[in-house]
Chains A and B, each alone.
Chain A
Amino acid sequence: MSDDLIEIEIDGKSVQAKKGQMIIEATDTTSSYVPRFCYHSKLSIAANCRMCLVEVEKAPKPLPACATPVAAGMKIFTRSPYAIAAQKATMEFLLINHPLDCPICDQGGECELQDIAMGYGRGISRYNDNKRVVKDKNIGPLVSTDMTRCIHCTRCVRFGEEITGVQDLGTVMRGENMRIDTYVEKSIDHELSSNIIDLCPVGALNNKPYRYSARSWEMIQHETIAAHDCVGSNIYAHALRGTVKRVVPRENEAINETWISDRDRFSYEGIYSDERLMSPMIKKDDQWQEISWKDALIEIVEKLKVVENNSAAVLASPNSTLEEFYLLSRLSDELSISNIDHRLRMVDFTDQLNDPKIPLLGINIAEIENCKQIVVVGSDIRKEAPIIGHRIRKAALSGAQIGIINENINEYFFDVAVYLSESIIGNLLGLLSALNGEPPEEMRDIFKQIKPTKEQQKLAAILNSEDKKHFILGHLAINHPYASAIRLLSAKIAELTGAVLGFITEGSNAAGGHLMGVLPHRGFAGSSREIIGHSISEISENNLDLLLLFNAEPGKDIPNLSAEKLTDSLVIALTPYATENYKTTADIMLPIGTFAETSGTYINCEERWQSFSGIANPVGESRPGWKVLRAIGSLLGMSEFEFESSESVLDEISQRLKDTPMSNEINNFSLQNKINKKDLLDTHLVQSVPMYEVDSVLRHSASLQLTPEASRSDST
């Protein structure tokens, strides 16, 4: 037995426990369940519900298991008459003020209080006085409150203090009048704040959009993957007869722990938006008409057959599944179209040939919190990837020094050691100079004028250490007009300081898009293309004959492609939604399913492949994207294109990757041209995309659009 392990006895069985562990942590490793309300493994110990009282030999009174450290030789009884009497007494007190409204409470059937009351509660209440009634507060469009049901476990309060860093909820008043409250009318507003719904052991804090729409026992729980950022949080979707009713986190310590972002939790509402495209449509004489799937596909295939490959382009959402990317890639190869891309908001393609084969985080998500120095460049990280923002906060709380280099000032709820605002390139050059680094040849002139500021020197001093460090480039850096300069300078700084360079990519599957060759300059598995296709900017300038849009909305997902530029092109849109932008630009629209209606695979930013199956019944006549692409391919007469399921597509991908394995070494980034432009050091060359606008499903999620976050982005 190692030094930090000790022997204890739980319910007569001998168990090994770690020194300093609390009793409840030890019992949780065994089959002895100790009831609890306030204890949560991710939160600090409050010991205020007293539900976890257990008997400990030689202790003069029952002890709270969550707040009593184990000691060698301790004999713990969780089910002895003495322990049960203590637990029953606690339960009786907790139920004094709790209303008996389980039949109209959404928590009913999955309520910790209800469950434990079944086990420990008395059949009949001995309490005859008035019960406490607490007025409900409106805390925003996502979380409903029934504060009379609150048992003051303070999990939600501790969550705000410890996990998000925003203390919206607190305990006000005292004694009989004590309540959990925001005190002032206020919407809870952090990107992770809806996790209090899961934390609340009773029905006090509940899911507002889901309210009164289903019972927990009627629904089927499906494992799936969140589809809005490169993290790939593990989630459960709860479906009632094929309709997704709500989404809850699925614990995965390597990725999202027990949390998910509000975005991942409430995006499902977008599936049932009124703007869904219900059947294939074709524009005839400027009028949209319904058309059968068969006729629509034949129409499309005929157009594809005759189009000049140089004058056609394929643009796909970075949220497409790996299978969809693969089929798009094969279709384009078949038609010799190299104008294909999924990097829809990028502007600077000058150094794309030196792109890493797959842009990744460089380290595992769980490792972020072990880094001692983290620099985040060109990223509103909390909004771009909330879970990574949370991991960085954890790192900061355990002593890491965080540097932020970004044009905008974003709010962070931890100590930022150095915040370099204004021009990203200016700051990177200053930092490089402070580190005595050599500038790239092409930037020598401008580098001469750079004098590092105090702040830049401070960050340089922080980076001058032997510790583990991480250098992250976010969306603003990737979509910057001088993205290649930012990347090159960052790589130089990372090399000088021994930091790992990583990327926060857009969408849920940018890694998959890169791997499958949905790129103008590379094919499947990083193979080089003979003809380099047009970039997005060239596509939007060049008035191509035909454009195939895969869940990529002109003006929204592809900001530089406006409706005016598409008037002469034939636009085929595979889309879940019939928005105004599609209606004005497209000529044929095919309804495809959202992330919940299709099976597939996402590759997250740490190159983790996560497959999921379809959960929801298709809305209207929509079909999973991969099936539509397969049908187009078959009608084009492509050989070996008869996939029966998305799994068979995945099998083929795996097989082909096995035959041509791909290395992911990062190339030497470079600058193709001398960069000495006047606006190089300007700010606001790139606008960040609001958090609830990044993809089509989010734009149609009614409740998310009601949040203060969404209205903030409207006003900017």
Chain B
Amino acid sequence: MKTLSKHAKEKIDLLLERFPEDRQRSAIIGALHIVQHENTGYLTAELMNEVAEYLSIPTMQVYEVATFYSMFNTMPVGRHNVAICTNISCMLRGADEIVDHVEKKLGIKIGDSTADGKIYLKREEECLAACCGAPMMMVDHHYHENLTLDKIDKILGDLD
């Protein structure tokens, strides 16, 4: 069973300082981000239980938050998170072709991970507020703008 690392606990402690006492519930989202990042991009029930225990709140409150937000994955996914924006600006600039291209290239559909556990194509991504650089995608929290198919091949190819 994976447990919270010392590093994660330290970061959660920093987070808790931002909220009043008895308001640990406010730190759930931040804590889950930290834990998910350490666990190569997804959460397990054990990890959520540990977050709950560390924050002294009922486990159910952590489950609720983790399942509500699309930025948390509660099932195992590939270690690189690729999120292609398909909202209006990106769509007008060819996001659909990009999705088609990536799906073909990786041999998986949106929402799936590659068999080698390398890449996860995020199920849906709403506007990431980078319309000026549309079409765009986010890979492991980094923005890549003004995408072309070649550029995408290079970005994906550079992932380890």
**Contact residues of A with B, CB < 8 Å?**
160, 166-174, 182-184
List chain A residues, Cβ under 8 A from B63: 170, 172, 183-184
Task: Provide the bound-state CA to CA distance between A183 and B45, in Å.
Answer: 9
| A167:B60 contact, CB within 8 angstroms | yes
Query: Which one of A160, A166, A168, A172 lies within 8 Å of B64 (CB-CB)?
Result: A172
In the complex, the chain A residue whose C-beta lies closest to that of B45 is A184
Interface residues on B, range: under 10
Interface string of B62-75 (1 = CB under 8 A from A): 01100110000000
Min CB–CB distance A123 → chain B (angstroms): 36
Q: Is the interface of B mostly helix, strand, loop or mixed?
A: helix
| B61:A167 contact, CB within 8 angstroms | yes
**Contact residues of B with A, CB < 8 Å?**
45, 58-61, 63-64, 67-68
| A171:B45 contact, CB within 8 angstroms | no
In the complex, the chain B residue whose C-beta lies closest to that of A173 is B67
Min CB–CB distance B146 → chain A (angstroms): 32
Beyond contacts A170-B61, A172-B64, A184-B59: 4 other A-B pairs, Cβ-Cβ < 8 A, are A160-B60, A167-B61, A169-B60, A183-B59
| A174:B61 contact, CB within 8 angstroms | no
| B45:A170 contact, CB within 8 angstroms | no
| B60:A173 contact, CB within 8 angstroms | no
Task: Provide the bound-state CA to CA distance between A169 and B59, in Å.
Answer: 10
List chain B residues, Cβ under 8 A from A170: 60-61, 63-64
5 residue pairs bridging A and B, Cβ less than 8 Å apart:
A166-B58, A167-B60, A169-B60, A173-B68, A182-B60
Task: Provide the bound-state CA to CA distance between A182 and B45, in Å.
Answer: 12
User: Closest 8 CB pairs between A and B?
Assistant: A170-B60, A183-B63, A167-B58, A167-B60, A172-B67, A174-B68, A170-B64, A173-B67
Q: Is the interface of A mostly helix, strand, loop or mixed?
A: loop
Task: Provide the bound-state CA to CA distance between A169 and B58, in Å.
Answer: 11
List chain A residues, Cβ under 8 A from B58: 166-167
Task: Provide the bound-state CA to CA distance between A182 and B48, in Å.
Answer: 13
Cross-chain pair count, CB within 8 angstroms:
30
Among B45, B60, B63, B68, which residue has the most Cβ atoms of chain A within 10 A? B60
List chain B residues, Cβ under 8 A from A182: 60
Min CB–CB distance A314 → chain B (angstroms): 50
Min CB–CB distance A218 → chain B (angstroms): 38
In the complex, the chain B residue whose C-beta lies closest to that of A185 is B45
List chain A residues, Cβ under 8 A from B60: 160, 167-170, 182-183
Min CB–CB distance A131 → chain B (angstroms): 21
Min CB–CB distance B49 → chain A (angstroms): 8
Min CB–CB distance B74 → chain A (angstroms): 9
Min CB–CB distance A171 → chain B (angstroms): 6
Task: Provide the bound-state CA to CA distance between A160 and B60, in Å.
Answer: 11
List chain B residues, Cβ under 8 A from A168: 60
Min CB–CB distance B123 → chain A (angstroms): 12
Task: Provide the bound-state CA to CA distance between A174 and B63, in Å.
Answer: 12
Task: Provide the bound-state CA to CA distance between A169 and B61, in Å.
Answer: 10
Min CB–CB distance A311 → chain B (angstroms): 59
Min CB–CB distance A164 → chain B (angstroms): 11
| B67:A183 contact, CB within 8 angstroms | yes
Min CB–CB distance A213 → chain B (angstroms): 32
List chain B residues, Cβ under 8 A from A167: 58-61
List chain A residues, Cβ under 8 A from B59: 167, 183-184
In the complex, the chain A residue whose C-beta lies closest to that of B57 is A167
Task: Provide the bound-state CA to CA distance between A588 and B116, in Å.
Answer: 75
List chain B residues, Cβ under 8 A from A173: 67-68
In the complex, the chain A residue whose C-beta lies closest to that of B46 is A184
Min CB–CB distance B16 → chain A (angstroms): 20
Task: Provide the bound-state CA to CA distance between A183 and B59, in Å.
Answer: 10
Min CB–CB distance B134 → chain A (angstroms): 26
Task: Provide the bound-state CA to CA distance between A160 and B64, in Å.
Answer: 14
List chain A residues, Cβ under 8 A from B68: 172-174
Min CB–CB distance B152 → chain A (angstroms): 30
Task: Provide the bound-state CA to CA distance between A170 and B64, in Å.
Answer: 7
List chain B residues, Cβ under 8 A from A169: 60
Min CB–CB distance A185 → chain B (angstroms): 10
List chain B residues, Cβ under 8 A from A166: 58
Task: Provide the bound-state CA to CA distance between A39 and B64, in Å.
Answer: 22
Min CB–CB distance B121 → chain A (angstroms): 19
Among B45, B58, B61, which residue has the most Cβ atoms of chain A within 10 A? B58
Min CB–CB distance A169 → chain B (angstroms): 7
Task: Provide the bound-state CA to CA distance between A86 and B63, in Å.
Answer: 34
In the complex, the chain B residue whose C-beta lies closest to that of A169 is B60
Min CB–CB distance B141 → chain A (angstroms): 22
Task: Provide the bound-state CA to CA distance between A666 and B61, in Å.
Answer: 48
List chain A residues, Cβ under 8 A from B61: 167, 170
Task: Provide the bound-state CA to CA distance between A167 and B62, in Å.
Answer: 11
In the complex, the chain B residue whose C-beta lies closest to that of A184 is B45
List chain A residues, Cβ under 8 A from B45: 183-184
Min CB–CB distance B71 → chain A (angstroms): 12
List chain B residues, Cβ under 8 A from A160: 60
Min CB–CB distance B24 → chain A (angstroms): 15
Task: Provide the bound-state CA to CA distance between A637 and B61, in Å.
Answer: 69
Min CB–CB distance A150 → chain B (angstroms): 15
Task: Provide the bound-state CA to CA distance between A160 and B58, in Å.
Answer: 11
Task: Provide the bound-state CA to CA distance between A171 and B64, in Å.
Answer: 6
In the complex, the chain B residue whose C-beta lies closest to that of A161 is B58
In the complex, the chain A residue whose C-beta lies closest to that of B70 is A174
In the complex, the chain A residue whose C-beta lies closest to that of B58 is A167
List chain A residues, Cβ under 8 A from B64: 170-172
